[in-house]
Structure 1
Amino acid sequence: MTTVVKSSGSSSTNSRSVHPLKRLLDYGHKYHQQIWQATACSILNKLFDLAPPALIGIAVDVVVNQQDSIIARWGVKDIFGQFVILSLLTVIVWVLESAFEYAYERLWRNLAQNIQHDLRLNAYGHLQNLELAYFEERSTGGLMSILNDDINQLERFLDVGANDILQVLTTVIIISGAFFFLAPSVAWMAMLPIPAILWGTFAFQNLLAPRYADVREKVSFLNSRLANNLSGIITIKSFVAEEYESARLNRESEAYRQSNARAIKLSAAFTPLIRMLILVGFTALMVFGGISAVNGNLSVGAYSVLVYLIQRLLWPLTRLGNTFDLYQRAMASINRVMNLLDTPITIHQGDISLPIENVRGELLFDNVTFAYKDRYRVIKNLSLEIPAGKTIAIVGSTGSGKSTLIKLLLRFYDLSSGKIVLDGININNLKLADLRRCIGLVSQDVFLFHGTVAENIAYGKFDATDREIQNAAKVAEAHEFITQLPEGYNTVVGERGQKLSGGQRQRVAIARAVLKNPPILVLDEATSAVDNETEAAIQRSLERITVDRTTIAIAHRLSTIRNADRIYVMEYGQLVESGTHEELITENGIYASLWRVQSGLKLVDD
């Protein structure tokens, strides 16, 4: 199913004012036929489910009136023959009821599975296309709550609730019609509670809606806390913060519990109130209908049918509380999922293709300015030219904008002004996949996925052979330590690669970049978090893979970039110095000061 992306924030806002059920039906338009089939089976099942009371009435009529019974009027006067016909009708009714029950169960449950499957994939796919700022403003746990818990809530409603609502409505219509047909004089008494019940149901629905929206928000906060704590378990343990985090989790869980309690307090009152209204209708029919039967105005068979039907009509209404409870939870969840799907994508695709084999790797940053949302400018009117196949380095203090440049190059964000040009083409006009496919990123914060070493090296080139994976590992000087792992390349690295050391993770990341073989290589503090021996090994591998490849190296350790073709120094989002290592040392500026500090040389007065 293709997700329709809103082109502006205003359209997104308008869509959020639409009722969540309509948003769901609009989303699931390709399932309309299956919805109608499931609806028809639910209604037909209820029709045949309501038939036994009529058969009981006919049986009573045969016993009481015999040759003057309803069946006798069909031409069958023999009592035994009448009961044979009645038995055949009973078999047909029960078989059809069972068949339609099987059909609606299967249709609704498969529908629930199909919609939740598509919804989860579409929501995740849409999420992947959103700009990086969206993730920075939201917690992982909150997004997980939407993709998992909220979608599961919808599934639970479609499994059970949709069918219950349809069958209650069918029951009300069919039995109301039967009452007015069989005993119009007393039917209004039995029907008297129904308007009040329906009004109460919708009133409760309106009262419950904001309470369940609050429940969904609180569970999102709770999931966020859990996800955050599990990711930071090492920090928690090292700072002996177990009790502190347990207390914080207790507050989030208590807020969720209290939010649920407020919703339950209201929803639990629904059924007892409905029972009192039902009592009015049941008592009225039993008394006045009985008097009517005694006076001969109503047959005994009809009276027995009506007494039985009133229970079939009114008692199921008590389940409306549970059904609408499911409904409100599902609608609150649907709003959250649809709001995610309606979030506009701000990083738009270009339409120019650039096959990786045609990329030379010539880059131009032309008067680039950028500011994060609601923050000051991080990059200010920066211009920088990087010739194809050359290695340039960018250094500077923390917060000077070095890593932001890389995010802009990869189009994780779009520029505030200016342009970035690759081989003469504005990167905004390139297809995102083509742009990112030609850039290999090795960062300080290496992320390895839960899986084998081989799977992580082949990430991005998923069809790589074992030989290609091993050759890439050898270039990255990772092959030796990998072969010493318990299962070699098939060793599972654990979540985020926690079973490997920092240096090992770094070398796996470099092997991943080697295998990708991009024309542009970006090294973002690639050796800053490793020991000297590992740094030397990584440096040797980097020297091999940067040959004839456009390379951008961001580094704090100046020793790792001293051989770069050109070094740029950034401060406060601007380029303040540039030149080779020797030229910058001679200038005796910021770079020279940093070099003297890192190399242990005595500072010299300018």
Structure 2
Amino acid sequence: MVSAAAPVPASPLRELSRRYAGYRARLVAAVVLSTVNKVADVVPELLIGAAVDVVVRGDRSFVADVVGADSRYEQLVWLAVVNALVWVVESVSEYLAALTWRRLAQTIEHDLRVEAYAHVQQLDVAWHETRPAGTTLATLNDDVNQLERFLDVGAAAILQTVLNVVLVGLVFAAASPTLLVLAFAPIPVIVAGSLVFQRRLDPLYARVRETVADLSGTLSANLGGITTIKAFTAEGRERDRVASASLAYREANEAAIRSSAAFVPLVRIAILVGFTCTLLIGGFQVLDGTLEVGLYSVLVFMTQRLLWPLTAVAEVLDLYQRGRASAGRILGLLAVPVTVQPGEVLLAEPAGRIELRGVRAGYADGPDVIHDLDLVVPAGETHAVVGPTGSGKSTLLRLVLRFEDPRAGTVLLDDVDARDLEWATVRGAMGYVSQDVYLFSGTVADNIAYGRPEATREEVERAARAAEASAFVEAMPQGYDTPVGERGVTLSGGQRQRLALARALLRDPAVLVLDEATSAVDNETEAAIQRSLGLVTAERTALVVAHRLSTVRHADRIWVLDAGRIAESGTHDELVAAGGAYAQLWAVQTGDLGVRSTPA
């Protein structure tokens, strides 16, 4: 059954903060350093006012009262020294704050990507099959990067803006309550505008994330199917399809950018109002003698300091919305439940007996594919499962491998319910060779040893010989150290199949599971694989799904599936003699159409 989509938290960034509470000390350090930096950033404006006060008032200046110096020259020297110290503190704190914020962002990005990927690996195979790989890739890569960008730049910018308002507000409150009210009057307008724009931007950036996932999925699928595209001369059509997906992404971004860019003019108007009030009202107070000229200079500079950084609110809001949308998608992915969970029972050395009792199974919310199926494979025997397309053969193997669980009934390994067993027992006991072999980018030896990375070269070569792969491997330019390319594109289908068999055999599994392992190979390769299987299945359980009946005629028992039910079972000779469904399949494949069903 496919895992249901999980609800996205109402406040994704707050949820992330809760999840990564272990980094709170680093966050506090970053906040402290940013605070020190902002305080040091504001002090120079105060020193400008103090300098003006020294020039205008002389021995009656604020500096003269603090340092006890009557000479204007001496007072200015004191200001220069303090200014130099402030600049040192500001520069050092800015460097340390940036370093701390970025390290925090990079660490969370790394942890979140690894956590999300680890979770995705645990999700059911059916979930992966019903979700475009590009969508998952976009979440693991692009969404995590967007979130990192917000944590790196946006979070620090928000903190700096808040600190700026608080510190400048304190200066205005101490100098002139009237100017405090006038200079801060535009801020509620900017905040209200921010909230309006935030609500408007939220769905726009959700659309951006959707379109980039579609684009990523299209690109991923097309690169994976490049040979098919070329074979059908579909390059132009696929280019247009990618262009259409890219255009949708561009248009979604442009819509979001238009809305966020419209916020800047609003902020500029607010700055104009606030600065004009300080300039006029403050100037009038100086002329009336109710405000010192030094403080007036400070407040004029401070008004710019207060309001001008708010022009960056649009950019910060843009980063926030992108980060929030990305965080929501990542958390939504992390919240998808893992429905196929391992048990706790560990069998040290599984014998390999497999049994299915009254099993029903299907995909997602669709009808049953397997109906009340009973099947037993004794340890050490080779059993085959055959039947027409859609009869449920691959579904049966998925249940044995526990890629999914049955809707009803039980799958047992050594008389223990597979749901009660640890993965080390269930899948550790299995050697799996699929029809569509997947080889990873790396060497031949790397791919054979994939299931047992600690295996020695001697063990790798022994497995290759058992799979009759050693001859072609040793003929390669670099032998076992030859790169196979992504998905093994440098190898033929038969070579990939034999490497996959070697990979399965290296694990020395109790159960060898083969899913149409010879359906896409030539006769010579099929004969080689059959010779290998004849040797390696002599002392272990083998469950083989086959289309070519010639490959399973020597099986201890053959199970014939039809529409998800056992139609008949027995040895090859018994089934041919019975004249039933198997006999008809055998007649078609051998050309002996004289075989007829036995009358009921």
What TM bracket, shorter-length normalisation? Answer: over 0.9
Q: Give the SS at the match of 2:450.
A: coil
The yes-or-no answer on 1:320 pairing with 2:313 is yes
Distance 1:130 1:353 in 2: 22
Aligned to 2:247: 254
Name the structure 1 match of 2:511: 520
Counterpart of 1:347 (choices 303, 317, 340) is: 340
Q: Does 1:308 align with 2:308?
A: no
Quick one: distance in 2 between partners of 1:93 and 1:371?
Answer: 71
Equivalent of 1:498 in 489, 504, 511: 489
Give the match for residue 243 of structure 1: 236
TM-score, normalization by structure 1:
0.96
List runs of 5+ in structure 1 lacking aligned partners.
1-7
Q: Deviations over 1:124-166 (max 9, x none)?
A: 1111111112112211100000000000001111111111110
Tell me the distance in 2 between the aligned counterparts of 1:186 and 1:329: 36
Q: Who is 1:293 aligned against?
A: 286
Q: How far does residue 474 in structure 1 lie from its aligned partner after superposition?
A: 1.0
Contact 2:353 2:377 in 1 (8 A): yes
Q: Give the corresponding residue for 1:274.
A: 267
Secondary structure of the 1:50 match is helix
**Residue 600 of structure 1, CA deviation:** 1.7
TM-score w.r.t. structure 2 length? 0.97
Letter in 1 for 2:302: L
Aligned counterpart in structure 1 of residue 112 of structure 2, from 105, 119, 130: 119
Determine if the alignment matches structure 1 residue 588 to structure 2 residue 582: no
Is residue 462 of structure 2 the alignment partner of residue 471 of structure 1? yes
C-alpha separation in 1, matches of 2:27 and 2:262: 32
**Contact 1:597–1:603 under 8 Å retained in 2:** no
Equivalent positions of 1:45-124 (< 5 A) are 45-74=37-66, 75-124=68-117
Aligned twin of 2:207: 214
Alignment of 1:397-416 (within 5 A): 397-416=388-407
1:4 is matched with none
- Secondary structure (helix, strand or coil) at the match of 1:459 reads helix
Structure 2 CA distance, aligned partners of 1:532 and 1:411? 32
Once residues 597 and 492 of structure 1 are traced to their aligned partners in structure 2, the CA distance between those partners, rounded to angstroms, is 41
1:44 maps to which residue? 36
Q: Which runs of 5+ in 2 are unaligned?
A: none
Match of 1:28 in 2: 20
**Any idea what the Cα deviations from partners look like across 1:405-450, whole Å, max 9, x if unmatched?**
1101111111100101111211110012321010111111100011
Q: 2:425 & 2:48 partners in 1: Cα distance? A: 73
Q: Distance in 2 between matches of 1:391 and 1:187?
A: 87
Please report how far the alpha carbon of residue 9 of structure 1 lies from its aligned counterpart in structure 2 after TM superposition: 6.7
Select between 72-81 and 594-603 the one with higher mean Cα deviation.
Answer: 72-81
1:379 counterpart SS class: strand
Match in the other structure for 1:373? 364
Native 8 Å contact 1:379 1:572 kept in 2: yes
Matching of residue 510 in structure 1 with residue 501 in structure 2: yes
Give distance in 1, aligned partners of 2:405 and 2:383. 23
CA contact (8 A) 2:579 2:596 kept: no
For the Cα contact (< 8 Å) 1:216–1:333, is it kept in 2? yes
In the alignment, structure 1 residue 566 sits paired with structure 2 residue 542:
no
Does the alignment pair 1:395 with 2:386? yes
1:558 to partner: Cα distance: 0.7
Deviation for aligned residue 1:473: 0.7
Query: 1-side partners of 2:155 and 2:148: how far apart?
Result: 10
Cα-Cα RMSD: 1.3
Question: How much has 1:295 moved relative to structure 2?
Answer: 2.1
Equivalence for 2:444: 453
Is the CA contact (8 Å cut-off) linking 2:346 and 2:424 kept in structure 1?
no
Contact 2:33 2:93 in 1 (8 A): yes
Maintained 8 Å contact 1:525/1:555: yes
Letter in 2 for 1:46: K
Deviation readout 1:469-514 (Å, 9 max, x if unpaired):
1111111111111112222111111111111110010010011011
Q: Distance in 1 between matches of 2:424 and 2:197?
A: 50
The one-letter code of the counterpart of 2:142 is D
Give distance in 1, aligned partners of 2:55 and 2:4.
71
- Paired letter, 1:25: S
Listed one character per residue, the Cα deviations across residues 12-50 of structure 1 (whole Å, up to 9, x for unaligned) are: 43xx24211211111211111111111111121111101
Letter in 2 for 1:316: P
The secondary structure found in structure 1 opposite 2:10 is coil
1:344 partner SS = coil
- Counting only pairs closer than 5 Å after superposition, residues 91-170 of structure 1 correspond to structure 2 as 91-170=84-163
Does the residue aligned with 1:569 lie in a helix, a strand or coil? Answer: strand
Q: Which residue of 1 aligns with 2:165?
A: 172
Q: Secondary structure at the match of 2:567?
A: strand
- Specify the code of the residue in structure 2 equivalent to 1:31: Y
1:330 corresponds to: 323
Shift of 1:605: 4.2
Aligned residues: 594
Q: 1:3 corresponds to which residue?
A: none
- Residue 290 of structure 1 and its aligned partner are, at CA, apart by 1.3
Residue 451 of structure 2: SS of its match in structure 1?
A: coil
Task: Give the Cα separation in 2 of the matches to 1:433 and 1:26.
Answer: 33
* Aligned partner (choices 524, 532, 540) of residue 549 of structure 1: 540
Q: Tell me which residue corresponds to 2:419.
A: 428
Q: Secondary structure at the match of 1:411?
A: coil
Residues in 1 aligned to 2:345 and 2:85: alpha-carbon distance in whole angstroms: 66
Measured after TM superposition, the shift of residue 543 of structure 1 is 1.0
Matched position secondary structure for 1:556:
coil
Q: Deviations over 1:533-572 (max 9, x none)?
A: 1111111111111111000111111111111011110000
Question: In structure 2, what is the Cα distance between the partners aligned to 1:348 and 1:507?
Answer: 31
Q: Give the superposition deviation at 1:330.
A: 0.6
Q: Which runs of 4+ in 1 moved over 6 A?
A: none
Deviation, structure 1 residue 88: 2.2
User: 1:600 maps to which residue?
Assistant: 591
Q: More displaced, 225-234 or 16-25? A: 16-25
Q: Contact 1:593–1:603 (CA<8 Å) still a contact in 2?
A: no
The alignment partner of 1:437 has SS state of coil
Matched residue of 1:106: which SS? helix
1:98 Cα shift?
1.2
The residue correspondences of 1:482-497 to structure 2 (distance < 5 A) are 482-497=473-488
CA deviation string 1:231-284 (max 9, x = no partner)? 011111111111111121122111111111111110110111110111011111
Deviations 1:160-208 (CA, angstroms, capped at 9, x unpaired): 1111110111111111121121122322221111111111112211111
Alignment check: 8 A CA contact 1:222 1:249 kept: yes
- Is 2:437 aligned against 1:441? no
Tell me which residue corresponds to 1:5.
none
Aligned partner (choices 220, 226, 236) of residue 233 of structure 1: 226
Once the two structures are superposed, residues 203-228 of structure 1 have per-residue CA deviations (whole angstroms, 9 ceiling, x without a partner) of 21111111001100110011000000
Which is worse superposed, 291-300 or 552-561? 291-300
Distance 1:602 1:439 in 2: 38
Residue 350 of structure 2 contacts residue 425 of structure 2 at CA under 8 Å; is this kept in 1? no
Q: Which amino acid is the alignment partner of residue 210 of structure 1? A: P
**Partner letter of residue 21 of structure 2?**
H
Using the TM superposition, name which of 476-485 and 595-604 deviates more: 595-604
For 2:158, the aligned partner's letter is I
